[in-house]
A and B are shown apart, each in its own frame.
Chain A
Amino acid sequence: MRETMTVAEAVAELRDMLAASGGNPTIADRLARGSLSVLYEFENPDGTIEPYLMRVRRDLREVAPGAVSYDEADIVIRTEPLTLHRLSNGELGGREAIVSGRLDIRKAPSMPKLLFMRSLFNSYKKHRLRTEADAQTTPGSAAEAAP
Chain B
Amino acid sequence: MQSGMTWLKDYMATAKSGELAAPPSAWWIVTRACNLKCYYCFADARKRDPDELDTAGAKAVLDDFADSGVMFVTFLGGEPLTRKDIYELVDYSTDLGIYTALLTNGLNVRPEKIDKLVDGGLEMIGVSIDSKDDAVHDAVRGVAGSLAGAKGTIRHAIQRGLRTSVRIVVSEDSYPAIPDLFRWAIDEGVEELILLPIFMVGRAAGGAEDRRADLVGKQLFLSTLERLRDIGEPLGITVPQQTRLACPQGIELRAPDHELHHAGHAVGFEQSAGCKVGRFMVSVQPNGDVFSCPFVHAKVGSLREQSIVDIWQAPLLRKARAEDMGCLARSIIHTGRADVTDPTYVRPAAEMLAELPLPGTAPAPAPVAEQPFFPVDGLSLASHRARAVTSPTRS
Interface: A112 (CB within 8 A) = yes
Interface: A8 (CB within 8 A) = no
Interface: A143 (CB within 8 A) = no
How many angstroms between the C-alpha atoms of A120 and B66 in the bound complex? 13
How many angstroms between the C-alpha atoms of A78 and B3 in the bound complex? 12
B69 touches A26 (CB 8 A): no
Which listed segment binds B: A37-45, A47-55, A65-73, A97-105?
Answer: A97-105
> How far is the CB of B119 from the nearest CB of chain A, in Å?
7
Interface: A119 (CB within 8 A) = yes
Contacts known (A24-B95, A98-B4, A108-B11); A115 close to B69, Cβ less than 8 A: yes
A101 touches B4 (CB 8 A): yes
Please, which residue of chain A has its CB at the minimum distance from the CB of B22? Answer: A111
B5 touches A98 (CB 8 A): yes
Interface: A117 (CB within 8 A) = yes
Contacts known (A96-B260, A119-B95); A111 close to B11, Cβ less than 8 A: yes
Q: Size of chain B's interface in residues, with CB distance under 8 A?
A: 32
B5 touches A126 (CB 8 A): no
> How far is the CB of A56 from the nearest CB of chain B, in Å?
13
Interface residues of B in 237-266 (CB under 8 A from A): 260, 262-264
Dominant secondary structure of chain A at its interface with chain B: helix
Q: Size of chain A's interface in residues, with CB distance under 8 A?
A: 32
Interface: A129 (CB within 8 A) = yes
Interface: A2 (CB within 8 A) = no
Contacts known (A114-B71, A126-B119); A26 close to B4, Cβ less than 8 A: no
How many angstroms between the C-alpha atoms of A114 and B20 in the bound complex? 14
Contact partners of A88 in chain B: CB under 8 A = none
Please, which residue of chain A has its CB at the minimum distance from the CB of B63? Answer: A29
Please, which residue of chain B has its CB at the minimum distance from the CB of A29? Answer: B63
Contact partners of B264 in chain A: CB under 8 A = 95, 98-99
Interface flags for B98-127 (1: CB within 8 Å of A; 0: not) read 110000000000000000000111000000
How many angstroms between the C-alpha atoms of A101 and B213 in the bound complex? 47
What residues make up the interface of B, taking CB atoms closer than 8 Å to A? 2-5, 7-8, 10-11, 20, 22, 24, 66-71, 91-92, 94-99, 119-121, 260, 262-264
